[in-house]
Structure 1
């Protein structure tokens, strides 16, 4: 690619993408409403509020791909989620439609199915059961991506990210962890595969405790290499091992199932 847009580039995962994806494009266009620091060689810094349609249109222009990590990533007020995750995402898709339909990696969330019990089988076709307004916004994002694909042919990878951190830190993450290395390799495959379509992909490493399977997207050629298994003893020794009645060991959404709607 000549230019890859990374939204939410000032966030924790955005910083990982900024550092590790320079090989995917001649130029990384980095955007956020937070401070992005100084531009490095091969970078363009474009601050942008996703709720501003004109600014988003200018942001997307001349981009060959979009890694969409922007928006609210935790349970917050509905007003904040509305502007960033719903209005902002609609603005992004309209901008993509107007500017050549660059392929999109949409950072969705496992919280679209958070109210399933951990023992319940769940696949990419299971009905959504969001565990908060943040999860609801990601359900909207999935529906929007599918609509733009079916009606306009806009390709999107809907990636239901589990828990993407440097290492897993609690019991639930032994199932949901996505390592930084596996995240990077998934982004690579999304933008390299000849025909993407609009698949739903579980963003999870090769953890033995994982609840989700990506057998339906083998055509991507993505094989996660890392596993949370090696951290299990440390997590248990640290006392981060809940009893059977704790949401971290009951629901796939963990603690989010206990947060009140705001």
Structure 2
């Protein structure tokens, strides 16, 4: 089996590369970076721009599946996101259809439904409620995936990732996705025999998880880690509670509070602990 990974130079991509080589005979990693360091056995690197269809069409030739993690991973002006996040998603699905791939595994986000209040324990079937242009791009790709499944029979699994980063805030006690659970999630999205069109939340087995994955149980994703191990430290030094603050009260966190086009990550403490090959 041949798998293509987009976004291979990113933080999450850095943790997926080696596990993916163990799931397939050939892994083609891709990004717009000049290089991604030492390659693993069975891995090659191809530089490609998601916004350029001819490059993505060539990238997916001969593949069985694509794990699509490439994107601008923050809120930004619509014009900045249009190429990589919107057009890029179309290019991936259209090229996957043309080359008759079995499946697209897509890094969606909680920001597709980020304006729901956190007191609502939302499932995978709630209507879209994006918090930003970034979240809107995730809604677009989810709808694109549903349409390509229903009209063209191309399967896809959409991983609505909450917070796949070190736990540094009270919100993350509920939203944390450990790297080990990320790897399990992507593995289940690849090795489940049939998925059709599927949505699953990317979150660990946290006591305070604000989402419900029961409708996606058929994927076999059973997270092992729990952010409660960090609770005493985080709550002792956390921000004061404020029930009028959208960043605390909405599923999207700081992305629910920033103005459209303004960085959400700038309001967060994200540790760049990407895996070095």
CA-atom RMSD in angstroms: 1.4
Contact kept, 8 Å, 1:170 with 1:241, in 2: the verdict is no
2:173 is paired with a residue of what secondary structure?
helix
1:186 is paired with a residue of what secondary structure?
helix
Answer yes or no: is 1:145 the counterpart of 2:145.
Answer: yes
**Counterparts of residues 1-262 of structure 1 (less than 5 Å):** 1=1, 3-34=2-33, 35-165=35-165, 167-240=166-239, 242-262=241-261
Distance apart, 1:243 and its partner CA: 3.3
Structure 2 CA distance, aligned partners of 1:31 and 1:147? 25
Structure 2 CA distance, aligned partners of 1:217 and 1:125? 10
Contact kept, 8 Å, 2:105 with 2:189, in 1: the verdict is yes
Which deviations, in whole Å up to 9, do the C-alpha atoms of 1:46-84 show, x marking residues without a partner?
A: 000011111100000111111110011110121121101
Instruction: Count how many residue pairs are aligned between Structure 1 and Structure 2.
Output: 260
- Identify unmatched segments of 5+ residues in structure 2: 262-277
**Which piece of structure 1 moves more, 245-254 or 216-225?**
245-254
Structure 2 CA distance, aligned partners of 1:239 and 1:150? 45
Structure 1 CA distance, aligned partners of 2:98 and 2:127? 32
Contact kept, 8 Å, 2:162 with 2:175, in 1: the verdict is yes
**Which piece of structure 1 moves more, 202-211 or 119-128?**
119-128
2:66 is paired with a residue of what secondary structure?
strand
Seen in structure 2, the aligned counterparts of structure 1 residues 45 and 241 have a Cα distance that, compared at 3 Å, is farther
Contact kept, 8 Å, 2:198 with 2:216, in 1: the verdict is yes
Q: Return the TM-score normalized by structure 1.
A: 0.95
Structure 2 CA distance, aligned partners of 1:103 and 1:148? 11
Which deviations, in whole Å up to 9, do the C-alpha atoms of 1:149-191 show, x marking residues without a partner?
A: 00000000011111112x3111111111111111111111111
Q: Return the TM-score normalized by structure 2.
A: 0.90
Seen in structure 2, the aligned counterparts of structure 1 residues 154 and 241 have a Cα distance that, compared at 3 Å, is farther
Contact kept, 8 Å, 1:30 with 1:44, in 2: the verdict is yes
Q: Which structure ranks higher in relative contact order (CA pairs < 8 Å, sequence separation ≥ 6)?
A: 2
Contact kept, 8 Å, 1:113 with 1:252, in 2: the verdict is yes
